[in-house]
Structure 1
Amino acid sequence: MAKKKCVMFGLTTFAQMLRVYMERYSDVEVEAYIVDAQYKNSDEFDGLPVEAFENIEKVYPADQYSVIIGLGYSKMNDLRKQKFLQVKEKGYVIQGFIHPSVIESMKECGEGNIIFEGAVLGYNVKLGNGNIIWNGCNISHESVIGDFNHFSAGTTLGGKTVVENNCFFGMNSVIRGPKTVADYTLVGAGCYISDNTEPYGVYVPARSVHLENKKSTDMM
């Protein structure tokens, strides 16, 4: 059975990795990379042709190809959002990816979401557009996730949590439900949030301390 044809936006290591995942675990084949003309320094990347985004309709028409956004969380996910919207304006479907090991009972799942190994999205979770959910995340029952959020590995959301848009969650961060994480919130790695956040807020845990007068062999 022929695979669906797709082009990857971005010349990043994340895009390369995403290509491997998609071709190994989905029915989608990446046939080229695209990038804004000002960043096109070569006609080839990762063994595939590179085309300027401005010319995409001529070479990879929207009725034959979808586009996957191979960009990460730069500028609190605004770059990802910008390119997502520009691609949509040209009439393309934004391709998503859900790893086969994901466990989900979602009520809604929007467009262009990327979900990696072992993530759990519980009962009646609603997921918007353009989110990246890394391995081992746990989004508990009836949580509502907006658009263009980045969940690093091991993020946990308690039940009925609301995450608005353009938020970033560091590794192993925890949100106690039911709370609201406001637009553009940055939650640092290992942070525990027990109350609603403020828009554009930055939340970090206390730093780990090096006990200079101790050796590991003195402790255990």
Structure 2
Amino acid sequence: MYSANHRYYNHSGDIFIFGAGGHAKTIASAVKLRGEHRVAAFVVDQVSASMPTQLLGSPVLSLAELQRQRNMPRQFIVGIGDNELRSRKSVELESQGFELVNIAHPFASIGDATVIGRGVFLSSGCSLDPEVTLRDGVIINVHAGVGHETVIGAYTHVSAGALIGAISRVGERCFFGMGSILISEINVGDDSYLGAGSVANKDVPANTIAVGSPARFRSRFAVDTTQPSPTAESELKADHALTSST
């Protein structure tokens, strides 16, 4: 249920989803269950010969094909898990006059006095406590939770089962791996990653990869070829492969 006093753009009608990977299909399923919108198309920059012509009953179109349509939908959401790409396409499409909308699965729980930006996706079973703020383009994935009075920066992705503690501040374009935990009253800088199953119990600087319990930190720009890739980076590579059709 939506509370009466949180900000949520509850538009209706046709929308398009930019993207044609797994995350885009997850959004489309939530759209169908809510019943407030209809997915007119999945849209990508260019349609390749290997791509299907339809996904979940909606056509797959290039952006140029969409723009040639007579009754082109103006509302959209970007269905791409990669934070940088989601940010870039959101800004690009808004600059062309399209309008970002939010999509929340009907089983998402949204607390009172929650503030939500544009282009936000809330997946099934996720939970937002009261007075949470989500900036533009945030993804709160299936069964993830955000504690009260926490602020999540733009284009951050909170993966399935991850938990963000209360009164925390998370920067832009951060990534929280599956089942990761951020203890309450922790600050996380922009572009930082918390690996799957990891627990951060102290502030995480910007551009940091944090892995383990308690999490150990290293710069995203430090390369150690003698060690396997951290879990967070592995998840991001897998997610990028899933959305590479965009």
TM > 0.5 between the two? yes
In the alignment, structure 1 residue 92 sits paired with structure 2 residue 98: yes
Counterpart of 1:24 (choices 23, 33, 49) is 33
CA RMSD of aligned residues (A): 2.1
CA spacing shift, 1:60–1:92, aligned 2, 3 Å: farther
Partner of residue 142, structure 2 = 135
In the alignment, structure 1 residue 125 sits paired with structure 2 residue 139: no
Counterpart of 1:168 (choices 172, 175, 185) is 175
In 2, are the aligned partners of 1:43 and 1:51 still within 8 Å (CA)? no
How far apart are 1:55 and its partner, in Å? 5.0
How far apart are 1:79 and its partner, in Å? 0.6
Bigger relative contact order, structure 1 or 2 (CA pairs below 8 A, ≥6 apart)? 2
Larger Rg belongs to = 1
Q: Which runs of 5+ in 2 are unaligned?
A: 1-11, 214-246
How far apart are 1:103 and its partner, in Å? 1.8
TM-score in terms of structure 1 length: 0.83
TM-score in terms of structure 2 length: 0.75
Partner of residue 119, structure 2 = 112
In 2, are the aligned partners of 1:10 and 1:71 still within 8 Å (CA)? yes
In 2, are the aligned partners of 1:169 and 1:187 still within 8 Å (CA)? yes
Partner of residue 7, structure 2 = none
Task: State which drifts further: 183-192 or 16-25.
Answer: 16-25
The one-letter code of the counterpart of 2:157 is H
In 1, are the aligned partners of 2:30 and 2:104 still within 8 Å (CA)? no
In 2, are the aligned partners of 1:9 and 1:67 still within 8 Å (CA)? yes
Counterpart of 1:150 (choices 143, 146, 157) is 157
The one-letter code of the counterpart of 1:204 is V
Aligned length: 200
For 2:16 and 2:177, the matched residues in 1 are separated by 29
For 1:151 and 1:55, the matched residues in 2 are separated by 32
Counterpart of 1:48 (choices 52, 58, 69) is 58
Identity %: 26
How far apart are 1:160 and its partner, in Å? 0.7
CA spacing shift, 1:69–1:60, aligned 2, 3 Å: farther
Q: Which runs of 5+ in 1 are unaligned?
A: 207-220
The one-letter code of the counterpart of 1:134 is N
Partner of residue 210, structure 1 = none
In 1, are the aligned partners of 2:156 and 2:174 still within 8 Å (CA)? yes
Deviations 1:146-185 (A, max 9, x none): 1001111111111110011000001111111211111011
CA spacing shift, 1:104–1:49, aligned 2, 3 Å: closer
In 2, are the aligned partners of 1:12 and 1:71 still within 8 Å (CA)? yes
How far apart are 1:190 and its partner, in Å? 1.0
The one-letter code of the counterpart of 1:191 is S
